[in-house]
Structure 1
């Protein structure tokens, strides 16, 4: 597993006096869903150009996003269907880290582990700070990850896919509720 820190951000695009940099779409904790994939980001930021700009900062399909400041332990995953091939790259904000899976564990399995009661307990146990909770990278690297046997991993992936499907249905119903409730006497 590889840990990637977010790039240094200059300003939200549209601010006056923005220096030359690279524009990117920024995923924030608000874009995390309760179950499954992060929502497509809408916030455009400018990140520093030069030696501190590394393509590894840009999100890839299957990246696990973990909140390490304030909302510590909240996790999300970047969809395989995410539109990451656009002209503008995706990045994560400064309150998060990117966990990029390599060979040993599949991203969906890792996401399910980290978002489970056990995973959340472990993440809370390495969180520190009284006023603003924080997870230090060194402690996160020491976190014990359970790697299930292949057959169990396949079942976990099926459950993840079902959770994503259910989350999509929930979002559709919420939109229908919003439409119905604003149909009469809307402004």
Structure 2
């Protein structure tokens, strides 16, 4: 849904996109789809060094989580990206909004880092940045169908299996602990049958 919203905003292949949460399920999928579709992706690396994994998903560049103290009090940062896809919220969403070029767009589809957002109105009134909230739960069926058609077509990426791990229900607790510790990568599929 986030990628669809960015393309509807006019962000095209060849554009530079920032993706937060690059080693997580949504982030790594976004990195894969965007790079496969011709975008130049910069992904934010998590707590642990997952840069090799993120680059294998197609990122052209991997950066570490920006230190909030370095940009504290700065209403705008250097404009580096045409758009951003944020999966984490909080300081990373603020960083993305302050770093996107004029008339760019940022989508927000998660709050794993924080539900709070601290920034000024300057990205909106001085750069014309648009922030799109992605509500996949209440998304109209027409939009879902469009996204599914894109995933089955030009956004299809053959390595989706490489970012998925299937676990039995009785083995899900260790996977949850990995997520909480920031050591999780990709998607987890829980087998409810066995």
Structure possessing the higher radius of gyration over alpha carbons? 1
What's the TM-score once normalised by structure 1's chain length?
Answer: 0.26
What's the TM-score once normalised by structure 2's chain length?
Answer: 0.25
